[in-house]
Amino acid sequence: MGMSRRQFLQGGALAAAGVALSGKPGEASADAPVTRIKGLKASTTICPFCAVGCGLLVHTKNGKVVNIEGDPQHPINQGALCSKGSSMYQIAVNDKRLQKVMYRAPGSDRFEEKSWDWALDKISMRMKETRDKTFKVNELNKKDNKEYVVNRTEGMAFFGGAGLDNEECYLWAKFARAMGVSQLEHQARL
Amino acid sequence: MTNHWIDLKNSDAILIIGCNPAENHPISFKWIEEAMDKGAKLIVVDPRYTRSASKSDIYAQIRPGTDIAFLGGMINYALQNNLIHEEYVRDYTNATFLISEKFDFQDGLFCSFDDQEKTYDAKSWAYETGPDGKPKRDLSMKNPRSVLQLMKKHFSRYNVDMVCSITGTNKEDYIKVAQAFCATGRADKAGTLLYAMGITQSTHGTQNVRATAMLQMLLGNIGIAGGGVNALRGESNVQGSTDYGLLFHLLPGYLKSPEFDNVDLKAYIEKWTPVTKDSKSANWWGNTPKYITSLLKAWYGDNATAANDFCYSYLPKRMGSFSYSKIMEKMLKGDLEGLVCMGMNPAVGGPDSGNARVALSKLKWLVTVDLWETETSIFWKRPGVNPKDIQTEVFMLPAASSIEKEGSISNSGRWAQWRYKAVEPVGKSMSDLWIIDQFFKRVRNLYTKEKGAFPEPITKLAWNYGNGHEPDVHLVAKEINGYFTKDTTIVDKDKTLEFKKGDQVPMFKYLQADGSTVSGNWLYCASYTKDGNQMARRDQSDPTGLGMFPKWSWCWPVNRRVLYNRASVNMAGEPLNPKKVVIAWDALEKKWKGDVPDGPWPPMKDDKEGKYPFIMLPEGHGRLYALDLKDGPFPEHYEPMESPARNLLSKTQNSPVVKVPKNVSSNLSKFPFIGTTYRMTEHWQTGGMTRSVPWLVELVPDMFVEISESLAKQKGFQKGDKVKVTTERGSIEAVVLITSRLKPFNVEGKMIEQVGMPWHFGYAGTAKGDSANMLTPSVGCANTSIPEFKAFLCNIEKGGSKA
């Protein structure tokens, strides 16, 4: 039969709409989108996996995610999602997600829970100690045998960013360079 | 991508080489199929018969790492059979430019190669210039020193027989590919080229990309609907993170990070601002002074003044390379104290992971920020090590997921799309924005209270994002766009524009070099204006019918949906293809219609104001011949560092400018098979985001390697057997999957088998497995340092015990 996948899907959608419009209770209309999401709050988002940038709708009730599905108004994916995008709900609701700040002391064989305050104070101290200790003001260029001012923190590197929002990437770059970190790299180099 | 996802529907021929969108960008196939429904030909070139290949009209097998031979052959085919789009090539590319007499190419080496330093002197590849300082041109393109003739000569060696003996491709398949794709070298046809890491992850990755761009320029396929060179980016915001300069050599907006000899702002500007003597060249990077000054104003606010060089001295200056691989080498030597990983997992994601894991143990402190435990955050208790022996202090911080915070991300088609916060972060997790803000404020606090090294870059940093619990993301977005720092009057042709202090800058052409504007990233100027947050727009109108959706979200630059669109019209501004009009010049109204044009100037034939279409280059013409790469002006085929073949084209076996590390081996008696890595739909990158998601774990629970039926027979493997794969770097075990999708390659008459594997696995999470990157070599592209993950040599044996 000379029918493309697209025509087939369009036909399917029309058939499903027919069932819904008939108003007869039955298996097909029990899962009609309108019934399923009634009373829920919806907000839009973009998929966090690949860079196609598919739109999704997040349905919440009393501050909890109850459903996530493709955004039918989004021009790129028109409601469709791949297996990863379809699993977005299990990122939101997942008992393996990290929920606490964890710390592992040197030589220890386990993590222990700490407060944000404690960890952030320690981290900022480590960053300052390393910066102060390894800050390089001048560097010799072997080609012309001259010293140049470089103002770099040699003992610290920052990685990552492809999973951050643009505004986060921006502050990450701003913070890194202010810290004198030249060793700033991320997934785009791999 | 020069174009964008929906634009794929406008193509007449789609060439997929070095990517597998059916699996890795599945929804893109919606638009590929739409093109196919209208008669487009789908061509897939890949070492494996992928899911993308299963949908293709033409499939051609290629040995990993031989893309330049394949694409060079297509360039030769187009040139020899006169299939190029001649008008486009003459008017819009540097095919007409004459090259200096010094240029030469002998036996795999370009001229001016320094064998000691392993570098070229790129000056000897320069254009020949006339007395007016402009490059000399020959519009007939017949001069033997013209780029077109040099190119013809260079690629004449890439004839079909030579190419197929290098790539292992069946000759009939190869000719079908060349015919089908080169048929788009005319005004009424569009061909698009899609690539990803199959092209970039190579010691000659940049030249692979160049070969794709050259082919597309020869066929007149850049700037048009359904055309372009389209890199399919793998992470949701890797486009944005690159735009924001999270790489050692960049600042936001692709400004270069300062080098040691850019001693002050003047020297920086002189070094990085290209100049042209051709008034028809827009030379867009000529605006560098405006963009760097606006960036410094965004970073140092009122502290940045003309008198103090806008605090330029606060920026760190680089000497040499700080690429990912260099940093890992330094870490392995114990020369690094601290590392912060924001959602990055070097224990799995980088090459030679075994060494990367040892390197982590040399750190004094490590901070990880993730949604789940990763191999990096638990490296100190990984299988086979005693935690007591590892002295690294580890802080594992829980991050909010994408639906638990607000902000924008940029997709592969450069659309910056806004995401909303649907719920509070789970448990005590926090947004990355909050975490970075806390890092900064606490460090600043320490430097305010205590003495320390050069505190001013920190204590004087402008950081004004409200008084809330976390930074106001809208204030950050507004600073990125930029605003005026004082009342300003700008005369723009016949208009006089008045701006008040604090007004958002409408677009980057109004940014200034005198400190009167702030812009954190000039490329995103126009994303957040007086009309509000453009990235949050949801207008579904599509006036051209080409799928540009100009009022849906916002894309850089200035909402231009197709880059280099001035090349989609002739010199009079008339569309080359009247059926798919991206832009057109309205001579009556004296303005462009359609997409946002690549600059407001009238068409090129306007002698006074017309401009060339390739506005980012000082010569304004697309570069078929490159001037500033480390490995030559034309792509040349070299074998991957680990290869079963000798280079049939020249005596130069590997890229001459790439230094070979110690743990690389082409000993075929030890490692007789070609190894390659790839991704799949059900998992993602290092698996941190998918291997703890039950639905996905159920779909793909185990690490596996794929081999051909013939290799299985030769080795006596049954489907599901445990096998061990070994390279010079290490060994992994996996379940073997025997498939007819993989076939051996013909290498000089000998059949060489391949072993394929996903790189998504590791020892953390719900679904665990060995990491493919334990096997891959840490050797990278001459220009970018991107590692050669795609082509290495390995052995495979029965039995699961690791070496």
CB contacts of B367 in chain A (<8 Å) are 123
- Mean pLDDT for B293-307 is 98
pLDDT at A32: 55
What are the residue ranges spanned by the domains of chain B?
Answer: 5-231, 324-459, 673-798
- Report percent pLDDT > 70 for chain A: 82
For tokens 């850049």, the residue is B222
Asked whether residue A15 is assigned to any structural domain, the reply reads no
pLDDT at A36: 75
Quote the mean pLDDT of chain A. Answer: 87
Cα–Cα distance measured from residue B573 to residue B571, given in angstroms and rounded to the nearest whole number = 5
- Mean pLDDT for B105-115 is 96
pLDDT (tens digit per residue) in A117-169: 999 999 999 999 999 999 999 999 999 999 999 999 999 999 999 999 999 99
Quote the mean pLDDT of chain B. Answer: 97
pLDDT at B219 over 80: yes
pTM of the model: 0.96
Q: Which of A112, A156, A170, A172 to mutate to test the interface with B (most CBs of B within 10 A)?
A: A170
Q: How confident is the model at residue B335 (pLDDT cuts 50, 70, 90)?
A: very high
pLDDT at A15: 41
Interhelix angle B160-167/B67-80, rounded to 10 degrees, is 170
- Give me the DSSP letters along A114-157: E-HHHHHHHHHHHHHHHHHHHEEEEEEETTTTEEEEEEEETTEE
Cα–Cα distance measured from residue B27 to residue A77, given in angstroms and rounded to the nearest whole number = 6
pLDDT at A28: 43
Q: In B674-796, where does DSSP find H-type helix?
A: 694-699, 709-715
- Report percent pLDDT > 90 for chain B: 99
pLDDT at A80 over 80: yes
With CB atoms and an 8 Å threshold, state whether A90 touches B694. Answer: yes
Helix (H/G/I), strand (E/B), else coil: B687: coil
Chain B residue nearest residue A114, CA to CA: B395
Asked whether residue A16 is assigned to any structural domain, the reply reads no
| Chain B touched by A10 (CB under 8 Å) | no
- Report percent pLDDT > 70 for chain B: 100
- Mean pLDDT for B378-406 is 98
pLDDT (tens digit per residue) in B356-371: 999 999 999 999 999 9
Label residues B178-207 b or e (16+ Cβ within 10 Å = b): bebbbbbbbbebbbbbbbbbbbbbbbbbbb
Class (C level, CATH) for B673-798: mainly beta
Of B37, B429, B690, the CB nearest to A84: B690
Cβ–Cβ < 8 Å for B61, B745: yes
With CB atoms and an 8 Å threshold, state whether A51 touches B30. Answer: no
pLDDT at A30 over 90: no
Q: Report yes or no for ipTM above 0.95.
A: yes
Under the phi-then-psi rule, with left for phi > 0, alpha for psi from -120 to 50, and beta for the rest, what region is B320?
left
Number of structural domains found in chain A:
1
- Mean pLDDT for B481-503 is 95
Cβ atoms < 10 Å from Cβ of A136: 18
pLDDT at B123 over 70: yes
The one-character DSSP state at B257 is: P
pLDDT at A37: 78
Q: How confident is the model at residue B492 (pLDDT cuts 50, 70, 90)?
A: confident
pLDDT at A11 over 90: no
> Looking at domain B324-459, does it have CATH number 3.20.20.70?
no
CA distances for B550 relative to B24, B533, B553, B556, angstroms: 26, 14, 8, 12
With CB atoms and an 8 Å threshold, state whether A109 touches B245. Answer: no
pLDDT at A13 over 60: no
Asked whether residue A150 is assigned to any structural domain, the reply reads yes
| Chain B touched by A78 (CB under 8 Å) | yes
Task: Quote the domain boundaries for residue A173.
Answer: 126-189
Class (C level, CATH) for B5-231: alpha beta
| Chain B touched by A165 (CB under 8 Å) | yes
- Give me the DSSP letters along B612-644: -S-TTSTT-SB-SS-SS-TT-SS------SS-S
Q: Point out which residues pair with A185 in neighbouring strands.
A: A159
CA distances for B384 relative to A104, A137, B379, B678, B802, angstroms: 18, 41, 11, 26, 11
Cα–Cα distance measured from residue B759 to residue B775, given in angstroms and rounded to the nearest whole number = 10
pLDDT at B81: 98
pLDDT (tens digit per residue) in B309-318: 999 999 999 9
Asked whether residue A174 is assigned to any structural domain, the reply reads yes
CB contacts of A88 in chain B (<8 Å) are 403
| Chain B touched by A8 (CB under 8 Å) | no
Q: How confident is the model at residue B494 (pLDDT cuts 50, 70, 90)?
A: confident
Burial class (CB within 10 angstroms; exposed 0-12, middle 13-18, buried 19+) of B540? exposed
pLDDT at A33: 62
